[in-house]
Amino acid sequence: MNTNAPAYRRVASRFADTLYMVREDQWQNASPCNEWSAFDVAAHVIATHRRIYSMLNPDGIGGFDEDAPLPEQWSVAAAAIAEALDDPLLSHVPVRTRSGDRPFYALVEGLLLTDTLCHTWDLARAINANDELDPEAVAIAHAMLAELGDGIRVAGGFKEPIDPAVGADAQTVFLNFAGRRV
């Protein structure tokens, strides 16, 4: 139970750190992700957090507002997820996923961890910031994606895998599996 919560929290913190580094003139920078800009990547991560939270609480935490500052919107979405993870009852509420009902915390520690991790790298690359990812989170995310196999390669999902270079580090192998060129 909640075994990967610390890794998710580190990933969320690293995303926040990267998000707060984005200068106003960098929001339209291209990212490595599906031809999205830095703004698109950040907006997607925030919207995904809101969507996941709404599975737990249909009233949600409000809709995405393109006019509100992204760091402010991130703070609200991340705080809602963190509060739900900290609540022993809420974190275990079953939510419906493509693979059936799962406890809320499992969705956060799997899908949300993986999505946020990949997009932290995308955002860091878009703004030329440090793109080093949490090694434990990389291992967790890679194992989850590998288990899903080609099911992750759908429209709006991950691109085809790239063969990593011989001797590539775990982060590069993971990102290549997720269809990202490093």
Identify the domain containing residue 58 by its residue range. 5-133
Q: Distance between CA 126 and CA 105 in Å, rounded?
A: 30
Count of structural domains within the chain: 1
Cβ partners under 8 Å of residue 74, min gap 6 = 15, 16, 19, 42, 45, 46, 49
Cβ partners under 8 Å of residue 10, min gap 6 = 134, 136, 137
Q: Distance between CA 27 and CA 73 in Å, rounded?
A: 15
pLDDT at 155: 62
Q: Could you report the average pLDDT of every consecutive run of 10 residues in the chain (182 residues)?
A: 81 98 97 90 94 86 76 94 94 89 93 95 97 97 86 74 94 94 90
Residue 173 counted as domain residue: no
pLDDT at 64: 64
Question: Taking the alpha carbons of 181, 115, 128, 132 in that order, is the dihedral positive or negative?
Answer: negative
Take residue 77 and report the two structure tokens written for it: 């979405």
Residue 20 counted as domain residue: yes
pLDDT at 62: 65
Residue 29 sits in a domain of what CATH number? 1.20.120.450
Decide: residue 164, CB within 10 A, 0-12 exposed, 13-18 middle, 19+ buried: middle
Cα dihedral 132, 133, 138, 141 in deg (nearest 10): -130
CB 111 within 8 A of CB 52: yes
Amino acid at the residue 11: V
Residue 156 counted as domain residue: no
Question: Taking the alpha carbons of 123, 13, 78, 154 in that order, is the dihedral positive or negative?
Answer: positive
Residue 34 counted as domain residue: yes
Residue 171 counted as domain residue: no
Residue 145 counted as domain residue: no
